[in-house]
Structures are given as structure tokens and as C-alpha cells.
Chain A
Amino acid sequence: MTTYLDFEEPIKIIAEEIEKVKTTGEKTQVDVSKTVKELEKKLKDTTKDIYENLSAWQRVMVSRHPDRPYTLAYIDYITNGTFIELHGDRSVKDDKAMVGGFGMVEGKSVMFIGQQKGINTKMRQYRNFGMANPEGYRKALRLMKLAEKFNKPVVTLIDTPGAFPGIEAEERGQGEAIAKNLMEMSQLKVPIICIIIGEGASGGALGIGVGDKVYMLENTWYSVISPESCSSILWRSWDHKEKAAEALKLTAKDMLHNKLIDGIIKEPLGGAHARPEEAFQLVKETIQKDLVKLCKTKSDKLVESRIKKFCEMGVIEEL
């Protein structure tokens, strides 16, 4: 059963019509292939039209689409089932909202790390909705250090509504855990590629987001705060989330325009959830292409240009 977002209503209508025509065709043994073909073209055009003109808020909705593929699905496809998940931060516990481990990409070992959301109600709770605790960030760092030790590149897949704001998270130093990652990632001696595959909320996203290349999938968002929270702080209600989404300039296009990311990875027609395998393939191609280049670069050069890139971010006026 496909889930449609409210702005996808025209797509839903056509899709249902196609189904209806097909069933009628089967029942009455009348050749409906021409009608179906026409409708399918209409479906494609409508989808294209809608997806090319999505507002910032609509993209936020797509990034949270319940059918959207999550980190482990990407890793599984990209590593062709060779992924070995590694657990624990060696200090407190294993955070289920943050996953990581080695996998092979075209015969080469790569360390994959990312936030993981749950695919159903039970799993969503198990994964804490993709909101990592400090041990998640520490696990991520441990795995990055492991990759560095054996000279393996790191790929992070980012998809989180934020770092978890709970009592234990505060007790165990959520701020310190993220801060340390920012500092360590800027000095990591192996290539790092970061890809926002869903939600990129604030420090929780950035905590595994300092890389030589930072990409966003076409229908994702990345900012300092979610549109809802921004709306509730600035306008004291959640009703202005559309306006907040526009104001925050959080889409991939805006982020690239502001030079805060290095590129956009296109999504298949109708979003990554419509054709997950195509999305996985596009992400895989990007990773492969970059790894070839980055793995040839000397590590001190890599670190130097990574730091330089982040240090150039920001717009100021000298009086």
C-alpha cells in the first residue's frame, strides 16, 4: 500500500485510475493497454511536474516520508550484502539509533556510519526515531578511528530529527560527544564522504557531518533547527512551519547555492521512496566516483583542505 502525501493527491488519483482500468480490462477481457499507457505517461508527467516544483516544506515532508529508505537499506545495497555491523562505544552501550560497520564497495573496504530510523512502530521506538544519544556519537567516533587506523575511507549517511534531548543524554554529555566528533573529524586522516539521505537536523546531523565531500539528496533538508521548532520559537506556534521552512533555506538547492554543501544527488522520479533501488544506485555511483579521487589524495592535504572548506563558511561584513 503506497502512502501519498497531501500534495501528491493528483498522483494518487491517476495511479488509482490505472489500477481501475487494469482490473476492468482483466474482467472484461478488453484490451486496455493503450489507455494504461496514456495514463502512465500522464502519471509520469504529473509526478515530474509536482516534484520539480516542491516548496521547501513539501521537501521536508518527502524527507520524512514513511516509505523513504533508511541508512541500513542504502548500506545493504551499496555493499552488496557484505556489510558487517559493528556495535558499541566501548564505554556505555550500543546505541541503536546510530549504526556502523565495514562493507565492501567494488572490492574495497569502506566504513559506513549513519543514523538509523525504524521501519515500523516497534522499530521506530527501538531506533529512538533516529535520535542518537552520546554513546551513538562516541560509537561513530570509535568506528571512524578504527577506519583511520587501517586506512579505510569513511562514508556517513545522515538522517536524524536531532540528537536526543533526554536526561541521560545530558548526563552523559551530549554536547561534549558532538563537539569531540567535530574536532576529530576535521583531523581524520582518511577520506570522509557525508550524505544527507533524509533529515539533517542541527548538531545531531553535523556530529557525523564533517567531511571532504558533503552531499544532500534532492529531497532532504539540512539546517540548524527543524522548521517546526523554528516556527515555535520565532512565532510562538507550529502553524508557521511552511514559512519557517522557506526562511531557513534548508533545501539541497539553497544549501548548494550558499556553498554549505558540495553537491546534490538527484533522486529518481517521485522521490527516493518511489524507486529506492535507483536512489541507492545514484548514491553508490557518487561514493565510488569520489572515493577514487579522494583515496589518491595525501592525508595531510585532505585534512588541510577539509579544514579550509569549513573555515570559509559564513558571510560577514567588514566595517
Chain B
Amino acid sequence: MGWFKRIKEGIVTPTKEKKETPEGLWYKCPKCKQVVTSIDHANNLWVCDACQYHSRIDSEQYFSFLFDDGKYKELNENISSADPLKFTDTKGYKERIAETQKKSGLTDAVRTATGKINKHTVVMACMDFNFIGGSMGSVVGEKIARAIDHSLRYKIPFIMISKSGGARMMEAAFSLMQMAKTSAKLSLLAQAKIPYISILTDPTTGGITASFAMLGDLNIAEPNALIGFAGPRVVKETIKKDLPEGFQTSEFVLEHGFLDLIVNRKDLKTKLSHLLEIFKK
């Protein structure tokens, strides 16, 4: 016998009196389930205030809070994918690109820009995960290469925000060679002694980890990001055992010696400007 008793059976509010909740007004943290308004969530740089869960965000959002006053000049925004292999799986590659461009409003999986971080001029590249998993094909490789060229020409630091599943399969070996291309460009930056800060965010795997993401003078990650070479599913299938807890998280990668720092997104701008200051003085 319950303490409360339902007097009326079922839902009695008529459909026409039902109150609709507008979409996107609230944000529920997928980890701790805390609910906040979307505006508060954005003001908190898309980090959960309760559990510090970092939502995946895109280049526009990173640029908006990292560059002073959200102002920047985009570089080489008009480069788009060709289809050198005429690749078709369940869909033609050209068609897939066109659709993704339309849906995302992006030209490809990376955007590059120059601007200021607390008055330090930098070149920044940031990947967009919602463009075919942030995968690297010829365009991503070329844009990063050109961004590094810009750094070299004007002797300004290069910052790379990685967020990608790896190389883009639909460009096969062309994608693979972008790893060599970006790494070769970074070697020129290293020779010129221009700082390169790599920021690894959730997720950074495959060919991205095996090229520019791990090559920073400083490697910085956001908390609890997935960082690895082989994806966790592949590792699990290979060893046929369960993976240890926390495997391939930022914290795991730092413990094993491959990251300099883990920085909460809310502190990222301040930390970056301190580091840029150190390189300068």
C-alpha cells in the first residue's frame, strides 16, 4: 500500500493544452546527467560544470573563445576535395562530400586561421569532427601545410587543434601521404625554431596521432579525451581481452609520457598565452 494514491487514471491534460518545450533550450550532460540551459553550457565553453565533461565542439566554437574578441582571418578557406580515385562505397565520394558540405556548412575537416591569443599573433588550425569524422584527406593535409607555410613566412607560432578519427579512406594512399607531408612541413618549422603547440582533443586517433598531433614542441590535451594510434575496438579485437579502465584517455597518455599537459578547456586560452609568452621572452 503506497502512501500516495492516484485519484484520476491516466493523463488527463488534453493534447491541445500540452506545452511544447523548444528544442535545444536545455543541455543534459551525457556523463553526470546534470541539466543546464544551453546558454549556460555555451558560456561555460561547453564543459559540464558538475563533472567537467568536455563536449565535442567544432572549429567555429574553438576560434570564438580562443581568438581575442573571437576575431580571426581565415586562410585558404576555398580549398575543396577532388575525387582522384573515383571512390564509391555505399555512396560516391563526390556526393558524400557535397552532402557533408551542405549539412555542415564547412568545406572540409579542418579550418585554418590567423589571429591573436591575448595579443600573441598565431596561426591556428582546428579540425571539425562532424565532417566525415574529421578525417584527413588531401584538403586537410594541404590546408595544414599551407598554414605552416604562413607560420614560416611570418615567423609566428603554430597551434594545431586535432579532433579526428584518422586518415580518410576514400582518398586511400593520398590520405596516407598527408601524414608524411604535414610531418615534413613541421620539420621545417622545427628547423626555423618556431614554436608548435599541438592540442589533442576528443578523439585524436590513427594517422593524426601518427603524424602532426604527436609532434608538438608541446603536446597538450583536453581532459579525458580519447587519444591513441589504433582505435580501442581494434586493440580489443587484437588482444581478445577487455581493455584496462582509462585506456587511451588523456590521463593515460600523460602518465605514459606523451603529453606535456592536460588543460581544462576553460583554462586553455590563459594557458596558451602563458606558454606563448615563455617562448617569446
Contact = CB atoms under 8 A, between A and B. Distances in A.
Given A165-B229, A248-B172, A314-B174, A186 B187 contact: yes
Interface string A291-319: 00000000000000011001101111111
A234 interface: yes
Chain B contact-residue range equals: 35 or more
B172 A250 contact: yes
A288 B170 CA distance: 36
Interface string B212-247: 111100000000000011100011001100011001
B234 A319 contact: no
Nearest to B188: A307
A103 interface: no
A307 B187 contact: yes
A260 B174 contact: yes
Interface string B161-194: 0000001110111111111110111111011000
Nearest to A165: B230
A85 interface: no
Given A171-B256, A173-B258, A314 B138 contact: yes
B85 interface: yes
Given A167-B244, A316-B138, A250 B173 contact: yes
A203 B229 contact: yes
A317 B79 CA distance: 6
A215 interface: no
B173 A317 contact: no
A107 interface: no
A183 B186 contact: yes
A255 B78 contact: no
Contact of A165 (B82, B171, B187, B235): B235
Contacts of B157: none
From A164, A183, A224, A248, name the one whose CB has the most chain B CB atoms within 10 angstroms: A224
29 contacts: A165-B230, A165-B235, A167-B239, A172-B256, A173-B257, A175-B210, A175-B213, A175-B229, A175-B258, A176-B258, A178-B211, A178-B229, A180-B215, A202-B167, A203-B229, A223-B173, A223-B176, A248-B85, A248-B169, A255-B173, A258-B84, A258-B173, A260-B173, A260-B177, A310-B180, A314-B138, A316-B139, A317-B81, A319-B107
